[in-house]
Structure 1
């Protein structure tokens, strides 16, 4: 049991891009690392996903300060994963907004997720010592809330489960710009260790129905044409559906998790192996698919110990 997580070999610092999508709307991306969205209203700023640590959030803040001196009043959490939320304290925001399901997941498994994610992917938690603890939402909604930032209308929506039970998207209806969180990836492998694979495609159909003109995925570059938005949503759906159907068929045939992992890896690799974090995600993804195809409707909690046990149990499967 000596083989490290695939992500431990990912030590290269990524190039950050800060792209203007419309007046007062920006995407902070970094070659497949977790993205952050920025919306500037008449009197304040909203940040969508905060980076993993306060130390890492400082670079986002510096970029914001290059374009506005308005206070950062609002943070939206697209979901509960530590890599998305633990930088929140750096912004000094008045409101930390999340879906009710996301709040419930933080209560149930936030600490375990924090500990397991730091162990899996240390590069994404630079300055982890600056994290003061879990990030707790201060504003919680069920299905939808609307926030007016002066004249700018911002819709914050939970359209269904997918990447997690509580996924939240931010939609600018006038500009038709969508911040999709990890419901949608582009050129990056969806992590689905806490996913609802049966429901995810239906949730993606709801995103397609919005007909976004621009889209910021959870990972990957900002997408600036309707065609690219559609490609990203449909590409994510194809990956998730193909993977789950393969594992489900194997499970129903009485195959072991290791056999399902090997078979499904071989199906996915020819098309998706070049996507960012493919080798890292697949063991977690396929393990969750195997659970969901069996007796676990809801994802089991990942702990640092469970991460290690699962990872090493599958290393000889290929």
Structure 2
């Protein structure tokens, strides 16, 4: 390889923030690293996205214990990616929940995703030796599910394909707050390597339709207030469309992957180059957009070997 992936050399520890975004609702964020949501009910706690390892999950647990001693009953996983799910065992939850589609993706590509992500982004797998294996849900659902933490209601919804085919959100109606996973990002690049570019904007529009007071996004700062929420939704949509359109033009015109990469950079670098994990995401985003533009609806499985082959084509 001409050079390593941008993320492979990113070993700088990020500053953690723990922000209350509604009554007893918290966002664990870390300067563009994967976020985790915390929903505190009358009798128990729900975690939304688990971190990549039990060691990293314990950092979340420390923050949870600074605000409540209620037991952690549920871990909700917004999608199947390793950096979101492999720390789930640390929480000791009674139930681990995904969409049906996300579970199917664990079965289809979970190990390959783990191996691929570990090689790309080693810092996010601190304490990886403590991961007990793939994370499997104990409960799944197709379109929607409602859970109660005492009297506090949490609605889990599949609103459409976006970051993956199985993304879900968690809505807390009494606070008008949503936890979106990587469907929404804030000043952090969207990872689109397993995404659905044509569907993603409509899913964002569905979220916007709730008129939310706050969002805990997948990466970046917590979004509090209608103005900040809508700006992040619009910006995420702009990132997705700005990535896809120049690549689709090249792919559908018979151009090469490298030509698509150059076209994408010409449009996206001026707007997004300073975003967290931009360089990390870019090669995977280009490869997936190129495939989708040529009619490949289901994202091809990333493996450590495919990562290297794709990167060599782009560097060549």
Kept after mapping to 1: 8 A contact 2:23/2:175: no
Residue 29 of structure 2 corresponds to residue 29 of structure 1: yes
Residue 48 of structure 2 corresponds to residue 43 of structure 1: no
Using the TM superposition, give the Cα deviation of residue 148 of structure 1 relative to its aligned residue in structure 2, in angstroms.
1.2
| Residue number in structure 1 paired with 2:136 | 136
CA–CA distance in 2 between the matches of 1:75 and 1:117?
21
| Residue number in structure 2 paired with 1:260 | 260
State the secondary structure of the residue aligned to 2:148.
Answer: strand
CA–CA distance in 1 between the matches of 2:62 and 2:222?
19
Kept after mapping to 1: 8 A contact 2:257/2:313: no
Kept after mapping to 1: 8 A contact 2:212/2:229: yes
| Residue number in structure 1 paired with 2:161 | 161
State the secondary structure of the residue aligned to 1:79.
Answer: coil
Choose 100-109 or 2-11, whichever is displaced more.
2-11
State the secondary structure of the residue aligned to 2:263.
Answer: helix
State the secondary structure of the residue aligned to 1:47.
Answer: strand
Choose 235-244 or 78-87, whichever is displaced more.
235-244
State the secondary structure of the residue aligned to 1:42.
Answer: coil
How do 1:69-88 residues align onto structure 2 when only pairs under 5 Å count? 69-88=69-88
State the secondary structure of the residue aligned to 1:218.
Answer: strand
Using the TM superposition, give the Cα deviation of residue 21 of structure 1 relative to its aligned residue in structure 2, in angstroms.
1.7
| Residue number in structure 1 paired with 2:225 | 225
Residue 199 of structure 2 corresponds to residue 199 of structure 1: yes
Kept after mapping to 1: 8 A contact 2:169/2:181: yes
* Aligned length in residues: 316
Residue 121 of structure 2 corresponds to residue 121 of structure 1: yes
What whole-Å deviation, never above 9, does each CA across 1:24-72 have from its counterpart, x for those lacking one?
1111000110000000111110000011000111111111111111110
CA–CA distance in 2 between the matches of 1:140 and 1:123?
30
CA–CA distance in 2 between the matches of 1:111 and 1:9?
23
CA–CA distance in 1 between the matches of 2:162 and 2:177?
20
| Residue number in structure 2 paired with 1:149 | 149
Choose 186-195 or 252-261, whichever is displaced more.
252-261
- TM (norm. structure 2) is 0.99
| Residue number in structure 2 paired with 1:275 | 275
Using the TM superposition, give the Cα deviation of residue 295 of structure 1 relative to its aligned residue in structure 2, in angstroms.
3.5
| Residue number in structure 1 paired with 2:11 | 11
| Residue number in structure 2 paired with 1:209 | 209
Residue 107 of structure 2 corresponds to residue 111 of structure 1: no
CA–CA distance in 1 between the matches of 2:23 and 2:248?
46
- TM (norm. structure 1) is 0.98
How do 1:227-306 residues align onto structure 2 when only pairs under 5 Å count? 227-306=227-306
Using the TM superposition, give the Cα deviation of residue 309 of structure 1 relative to its aligned residue in structure 2, in angstroms.
0.9
Using the TM superposition, give the Cα deviation of residue 2 of structure 1 relative to its aligned residue in structure 2, in angstroms.
4.3
CA–CA distance in 1 between the matches of 2:100 and 2:271?
36
| Residue number in structure 2 paired with 1:102 | 102
CA–CA distance in 2 between the matches of 1:96 and 1:155?
15
Using the TM superposition, give the Cα deviation of residue 9 of structure 1 relative to its aligned residue in structure 2, in angstroms.
2.1
Using the TM superposition, give the Cα deviation of residue 243 of structure 1 relative to its aligned residue in structure 2, in angstroms.
1.3
CA–CA distance in 1 between the matches of 2:157 and 2:104?
16
Structure 1: unaligned runs, 5 residues or longer: none
Kept after mapping to 1: 8 A contact 2:164/2:196: yes
Taking only aligned residues, the RMSD between alpha carbons, in angstroms, comes to 0.8
State the secondary structure of the residue aligned to 2:134.
Answer: coil
CA–CA distance in 2 between the matches of 1:35 and 1:280?
17
